[in-house]
Amino acid sequence: MAVVISSSGNSQAFEAKMTVYVFICVIIAAVGGLIFGYDIGISGGVTAMDDFLEEFFPAVYERKKHAHENNYCKYDNQFLQLFTSSLYLAALVASFFASATCSKLGRKPTMQFASIFFLIGVGLAAGAVNMFMLIIGRILLGFGVGFGNQAVPLFLSEIAPARLRGGLNIVFQLMVTIGILIANIVNYFTSSIHPYGWRLALGGAGIPALILLFGSLLICETPTSLIERNKTEEGKETLKKIRGVEDVDEEFDSIVYACDFARQVKNPYRKLMKPESRPPFVIGMLLQLFQQFTGINAIMFYAPVLFQTVGFGSDAALLSAVITGTINVLSTFVGIFLVDKTGRRFLLLQSSVHMLVCQLVIGIILAKDLGVTGTLGRPQSLVVVIFVCLYVMGFAWSWGPLGWLIPSETFPVETRTEGFALAVSCNMFFTFVIAQAFLSMLCGMKSGIFFFFSAWIVVMGLFALFFVPETKGISIDDMRDSVWKPHWYWKRFMLQEDDHDVEKRTA
Ligand code: BGC
C-alpha cells in the first residue's frame, strides 16, 4: 500500500505514504477499542442471565421471577448497577495515571499496561466465586479501559498522516462498536450454556487482551512521544519508517518545534484553565456529557433488559441486541465516510433531530401502551425495536465518534494529552452516572426516561448549532486562527496577536 498523500494543513505539506506498517499499527492499537466495546456490550447480557443473577444477586433473581408485578422495576438493584458501573469509575481515576504514563513513558507502554490490567481483570471476573472477586475484576477491567482509551486515540492521531487523521481516529470508534456487537453475539450463545455461560461471556475479553499484549510488541512508539522525551534521533528514524519516505525533515522540524514549545509550558493543567483554552476545554468536556446524555448507553448496557421490559422473551431480547449492535457497526462506516465531506457540524445537527424523533416515538409508545404490568403488543414491540435501531444509527455516525474525535483535534499540542485525559475521564464519569442510575431511573420515571433524554438532545442540538464550529479540513495546529478567532462567541477568549506572543513566552 503506497498511496502518496500530501498532508497539507493550511500552512504545511508533508509528504507521507499510507504504509502497511502504519495500517498494522492502527489495527493493533484499535484492539484497545474492541475491549472497551466488549466490556460495554457484555454487561447487559450477563446481568440478564439467570445463572449469574442466582449466584450473585438472588434478590434480583427472585424479583425477576415475578416480573409481571412491575415492568419497569424488575432489575432495579444498586449492587447490580454497581457491577456494570464500577468499571467506569475505575477508568475515570485511571485516565489521570494513564495521562502521566503517556507523557513520561510513552503511548506504547501505556497500551501494554492496559492489556495487563485487562488480562488480570478478565481472570478475576470470569473466575469469580464471590462478589468481592467480581467487583475487583471489574475495577481492573476499568483500569484497562482508562489506560487504553487514553493511549489509543492519541496514538492513532499521532501516527496517522494528517489528512487521514479523522478517518483513522474513527477506527477507534469502529472497533468499539465491533466489540459491542461481538459481546452481543457471545451473550446470545452463552446464555443457553448452563450454569457457567456467564463465565465464558466475561472471559471472552481475554482474547483481544492477549492480542493487544502481544500485538503491542510489534508496534512502534509515536515520533511525537519519542521527541517529547528527548529521543530525538529515534523519533526521526521512526517518522521515516511510518511515513515510508526518506525526507521527513519538514514534519520532523514541526514536531520538534511543537515539543519545544510544549516544554516551556510548565503546568499544562494551569494553562488549560486560562481563557485562551476555554473553547476546546468547554467543548471537549460538554461533548462527553452530551454524548452520554443522548441515552446511548441506556440502550447499549441494557438493551436485553430493555427489550425484556417491553415484553420480549430472554432469547429474543438478546437477539434484538445483536441487531442493534450490527446497525451500530455499519452506521459507523457512514461516519467515517462523511466526517471529512459534510463536516462535523452537519452530522451533529442532523443526528440531533433524528435521535430526538426516535426517543419521542419510543417514549410515546411505552407511555401509551405499556402499563406498569402486562406486555406490549407485538406490533408496538416491533415499532420500538425499529426506532431503537434508527436511534442507534443516528448516534453511530455523530455523537459517538465525534465525542472522541473533536477533543483529540482541538487542543493545542501543549495541552493535548492533559486536555484529552480530562475528556476521557469526563466521558467515564458520565458513563458511570448513566450506568449507575439508568435502572433506577427506568423504575422511577418509567417511560418518562425517554422524554428526559429527548430534552437533553434538544439542549445538545442547540449547543452544537451555536457553539461547535466546523473543524473539517483545518490543520490541527491552526484552530486558534481559523476556528476560534472568527467565531462569534469564542473569539472573546482569544488573545490579541501581541498578547499571544507574550503568553507564549511566559506560560
Ligand atoms: C461511547 C460509548 C458507547 C459507544 C456506543 C462510544 O463512543 O463512548 O459510551 O457505548 O460509543 O457505540
Which grid coordinates belong to 85? 458501573
Which grid coordinates belong to 333? 462506516
Cβ of 177 below 6 Å from ligand 1 = yes
Instruction: Show Cβ contacts of residue 15 under 8 Å, excluding neighbours closer than 6 positions.
Output: 4, 6, 7, 243, 245, 247, 248
Cβ of 335 below 6 Å from ligand 1 = no
Q: For residue 374, what pLDDT is reported? A: 62
Residue nearest to atom 7 of ligand 1 (CA): 400
Q: For residue 373, what pLDDT is reported? A: 63
The pick from 87, 176, 329, 393 for probing ligand 1's pocket by mutation, whose C-beta has the most ligand atoms within 8 angstroms, reads 176
- Which amino acid type is present at position 74? K
Spatial contact of 426 and 289, defined as CB atoms under 8 Å apart: yes
For residue 404, give the ligand 1 atom closest to its CA: 7
Nearest alpha-carbon partner for 150 in 181, 104, 187: 104
For residue 177, give the ligand 1 atom closest to its CA: 12
Cβ of 288 below 6 Å from ligand 1 = no
Which segments in the chain show pLDDT lower than 50? Answer: 1-12, 497-498, 501-502, 505-507
For residue 180, give the ligand 1 atom closest to its CA: 12
Collapse the DSSP code of 17 into the 3-class scheme (helix H, G, I; strand E, B; otherwise coil) and give the result: strand
Could you count the other beta carbons within 10 Å of the beta carbon of residue 397?
Answer: 26
In angstroms, rounded to a whole number, what is the distance separating the alpha carbons of residues 157 and 171? 11
Q: For residue 166, what pLDDT is reported? A: 80
Cβ of 43 below 6 Å from ligand 1 = no
- Please give the DSSP secondary-structure letter assigned to residue 482: I
- Taking the model in full, what pTM does it have? 0.88
Cα–Cα separations (whole angstroms), residue 354 to 332, 348, 363: 15, 10, 15
Q: For residue 74, what pLDDT is reported? A: 63
Cβ of 406 below 6 Å from ligand 1 = no
Q: For residue 80, what pLDDT is reported? A: 81
H and E: helices and strands count for the chain: 23, 2
Residue nearest to atom 8 of ligand 1 (CA): 400
- Please give the DSSP secondary-structure letter assigned to residue 478: G
Residue nearest to atom 12 of ligand 1 (CA): 177
**Pairing between β-strand 4-8 and β-strand 13-17 as defined by DSSP bridges:** antiparallel
Residue nearest to atom 10 of ligand 1 (CA): 297
- Give per-residue pLDDT as tens, 143-159: 999 999 999 988 988 88
Cβ of 328 below 6 Å from ligand 1 = yes
Spatial contact of 242 and 22, defined as CB atoms under 8 Å apart: yes
Cβ of 296 below 6 Å from ligand 1 = yes
